[in-house]
Amino acid sequence: MTVLKQPVCQRVAIGGDHAGFPMKEMVCEQLSHLDLTVIDCGAHDDSPSDFPDFAEAVGQELISGRAERGILVCGSGVGVSVAANKIPGIRASLCHDTYSAHQGVEHDDMNVLCIGARVIGPAVAFEIVEAFLSARFSPQERHQRRVDKILEIEKKALNGGYQRPPQPN
């Protein structure tokens, strides 16, 4: 069993659908060994469930300030990433390697890690979670400038600055 290093944050929200449930449980077990508050947003079993519900629940924990970082797990990681990024203030990314997990925090101030339980195994998942939770945003001018641009895009979208694309028939 790999034991994770102590993360830089104190409160982590985690959630995942039925496909992510077994891996979510394994990650929760790993995190339970740390001096950290883990907020389990479900699923609580492997019965069929919908990933957007858990992406929203984890996002709400971050937006409310009850959690500082979030972890989402579904089959591929793609669905939870798409859903989480619809929530203003959430910067979620699908990461299946440690470099992306820490670089996403350091350069892009990523606050939600998304992983695919059907894509990677537990050992790799633990390493990715450790890289994500151990990283800090590096507010170098170029990184902050880019995050500020992301926030401007979000603000524009919230104020109706974008039109919906045509929906397929």
101 neighbors 135 (Cβ within 8 angstroms): yes
CA distance 79 to 17: 10
Nearest 10 degrees: Cα torsion 137, 141, 146, 151: 80
Q: Does domain 11-158 have CATH number 3.40.1400.10?
A: yes
At residue 7 the predicted structure's pLDDT band, cuts being 50, 70 and 90, is confident
Rounded distance, CA 35 to CA 149, Å? Answer: 34
DSSP at 167: P
pLDDT at 4: 59
Residues recognised as catalytic: 74, 107
127-152: per-residue pLDDT in tens? Answer: 999 999 999 999 899 999 999 999 99
Question: What span, in angstroms and rounded, lies between the C-alpha atoms of 29 and 8?
Answer: 18
Name the residue type at position 151. L
Phi, psi angles (nearest 5°) of residue 73: -130, 125
Distance CA 66, CA 58 (A): 10
Q: What are phi and psi of 151, to 5 degrees?
A: -65, -35
Determine the average pLDDT of the residues in 20-35.
Answer: 95
pLDDT in tens, 74-121: 999 999 999 999 999 999 999 999 999 999 999 999 999 999 999 999
Angle 126-92-146 from CA coordinates, rounded to 5° = 120
> Could you tell me which residues are beta bridge partners of residue 112?
70, 92
pLDDT attached to residue 2? 52
Cβ atoms 53, 31 nearer than 8 A: no
| Euclidean distance between CA atoms 61 and 42, whole angstroms | 13
